A and B are shown apart, each in its own frame.
Chain A
Amino acid sequence: MSGSTIKIIIGPQHPALKEPERFILETEGEYVVDVKVRIGYIHRGIEKAMENRTYLQGLYLSERVCGICSDAHTTCYVQGVEELLGIEPPPRSRFIRVIVAELERIHSHLLWLGIAAHEIGFDTLFMYVWRDREVVMDLLELVSGNRVNYAINTIGGVRRDLNNGRIQKMLKGLKILEDRTKEYLKMIGREQTVLKRTVNIGNLSKSDAIKYGAVGPTARASGVKRDVRVDDPYAAYDEISFNVIVEDGCDCLARIMVRGREVLESIHIIREALKKMPDGEIRVRVKPRIPPAEALSRVEAPRGELLYYIKSNGTDKPERCKIRTPTLANIPSLCKMLVGGYIADVPIVLAGIDPCFACMDRVLIIDKEKRKAEVWTLDMLRRYGREWYQKR
């Protein structure tokens, strides 16, 4: 079969991808020999839209960058804005931020576990995990009032407080989640068909993970101890003791195990946070106008390091807001993982980084001849579109 490769196109519409993205796989027989990625199918112009909105409106927009890690985005955004303002949110609000962030991590990881099971054809596990995920969704609704876009953060603190009744209910729910997650981890470690499809699949060695700048659980499954919660503590993470989960397997099983064990660790963090949470205010009032400054804010989203850069110019609107989502950081590692594997393993490897393409898409025009890359603004895109259609 040497010399004759078949191009298999995965995406933009494909059942293994929940969002549109295109992967062009060069295959020889059942082997993948090369991968090309094309991103940008769901560019929504959020960064540009933020420049036309006030800081408070931008908060709602940042919440909608990602449907799954919406809390991580708002936390990152408000931290940046608070840094620009030079204010500290009250201690109680910082603990509530930790609690919601960890609940979100549990929800995101369980969701991912279900998807991963579905990708290897294990639908029974998928159904069971998603049934139990409802527990954490209910807890999030209990805390914030919403199941998906929690809107718990606000500039200068959080929007809703926790009372004793809610805390008791939450502890009860956490117990269920802990038992179920332990059960699943035990099952996955023993089930032969799962092991056959995940052990030694999509390998990413530790040196490669560092070289390609992997973040989040993808990096931690390759033995790289990289976690913003510890490296650069935000919210109340510096007051809570917890372990960074690291696995040395470097394969898909390690990625499953890292996320499963992180769910257990998150449950531990929430319990600790509930115990240590001080009384007091949950928010401080802030002025709408923000003095000219620059701020860089990082949080550990469920998928890895999320980064916001915000620049203010003295008005009530930001001059520039740049978002770097974890999926974008993991794409180079993903290409490395896919090459040399089977076509049959592409879905699980793709799912292995927990991709969230809607978050990462932006228009980056790369001029091959001039060897330069530039980010287009919404206006430039519009103009380009008009001209392109006129030419036709």
Chain B
Amino acid sequence: MVSEALNFVLQLLIFPGFLFIICLAFFSEWVLRKFVARIQNRMGPTYTGYGGVLQPFADFIKLLGKEDIIPAFAEKSFFTLTPLLCLALPLTAIFVLPIADHQALISFEGDLIFLAFTFTMLTIMVFLGGFLSGSIFSMVGGVRAATQLLGYEIPFLLVLFGPAIPASSLSISKISMWQAQNNAWGLWTQPIGFGVLVICLLAELELLPFDIPEAETEIVAGWNVEFTGRRLALVRLGRDVELVLASAILVDLYLGGPQQVWIIPPIVIFLVKMFACLLLIGYLKTLFARFRIDQVLSGMWKYVIPAAMIQFIILKLIW
């Protein structure tokens, strides 16, 4: 009994819990930065560690030591809450995703709904944090984040619940297990859904061509323009965790999750798939120019939502 509890605590704190996820988040940021840099004919980080691998961690430490400023016009409670929730929400959401084993650390029937909730919650926090931090730029950024939500939320939810239909379960662990056992990856059975999910995740993560809420050349840094020091460090770490979360969702819902192949442990398979998704996201990020907010909304409603609906209808017809 005691050893079981100890085991669980260790899992939660070290592997595949907080420590592992945070290290993975830093590492994925480095992978993304290096990959994007190589595509763009640049070097990327080089100084700290082998090939600059410690750069995201160094940035984090540096930001922790910087001055922490609260603007006079900011709503203090939300200004403090936003960075914390920006990190806490994706970290919590990752526990319901199976990573090291076919069973997630915390798994219950309906955790898919919890996942959807955290994603919407994140955007609402971004909106509130931006709106209440007392700068025009962050206000415009926050409003843009909320406006963008209107565009991608519906297709995102539709394709998030798509894989649940064939597996007839709302538990992510069961969905990924079903896909692995039947060899019916979501990528093959519902390719449109996969494409829509990638697009929506790009919008959710505020990556090009949807980095409108923090468009550097238009509104400086958008909703996070006023965050400094510790708060900015948390926001940025939260972004990295979100990156891991997004790739993990793609893996678990559409690529069969962590399966055991021959003697290779499931975590290795999971990481291989996860980084493949990460590189896909990074590749898409470099290909485009930034859309305008109205173009995103009309594009989403004209093309992406119908595509997600068609996928849903096809699914219902087959299963």
Contact = CB atoms under 8 A, between A and B. Distances in A.
Contact of A191 (B136, B218, B289, B295): B289
- Select the residue from B41, B42, B212 with max chain A CB neighbours within 10 A: B41
Contact of B40 (A127, A191, A347): A127
A127 B41 contact: yes
Interface string A104-127: 000000000000011111111101
A292 interface: no
Contacts of A191: 289
Nearest to A194: B289
A56 interface: no
Interface residues of B, number: 26
A319 B293 CA distance: 54
B47 interface: no
A374 B101 CA distance: 77
Contacts of B216: 15, 121
Contact of B292 (A7, A14, A127, A196): A196
B13 to A, nearest CB: 38
B136 A9 contact: yes
Interface residues of A, number: 31
A194 B41 CA distance: 20
A124 B289 CA distance: 9
B39 A124 contact: yes
A251 B291 CA distance: 17
A16 B289 CA distance: 15
Contacts of A235: none
A122 B215 contact: no
B217 interface: yes
A193 B41 contact: no
A147 to B, nearest CB: 20
| Binding site secondary structure of chain A | helix
Given A15-B220, A30-B294, A118-B217, A123 B211 contact: no
Nearest to A348: B217
Contact of B291 (A14, A127, A128, A193): A193
A70 B140 CA distance: 38
Interface string B274-315: 000000000000111111111100000000000000000000
Interface stretch (A89-97, A148-156, A208-216, A338-346): A338-346
A268 interface: no
B177 interface: no
Contacts of B209: 121, 193
Contacts of A16: 217-218
Contacts of A118: 217
B249 interface: no
A225 interface: no
B136 A344 contact: no
Interface string A7-26: 11100001110000000000
A8 B140 contact: yes
A347 B218 contact: yes
Contacts of A8: 136, 140
Interface in B33-50: 39-42
Interface of B: 39-42, 136, 140, 208-209, 211-212, 215-220, 286-295
Given A194-B289, A197-B290, 17 more contacts: A14-B220, A15-B216, A15-B220, A16-B217, A119-B217, A121-B288, A123-B286, A124-B40, A125-B289, A127-B42, A128-B41, A193-B288, A196-B289, A197-B291, A342-B292, A344-B215, A347-B218
18 contacts: A14-B220, A15-B217, A15-B220, A120-B289, A120-B290, A121-B208, A122-B289, A124-B287, A125-B289, A191-B289, A193-B290, A193-B291, A342-B293, A342-B294, A343-B219, A344-B215, A344-B218, A345-B292
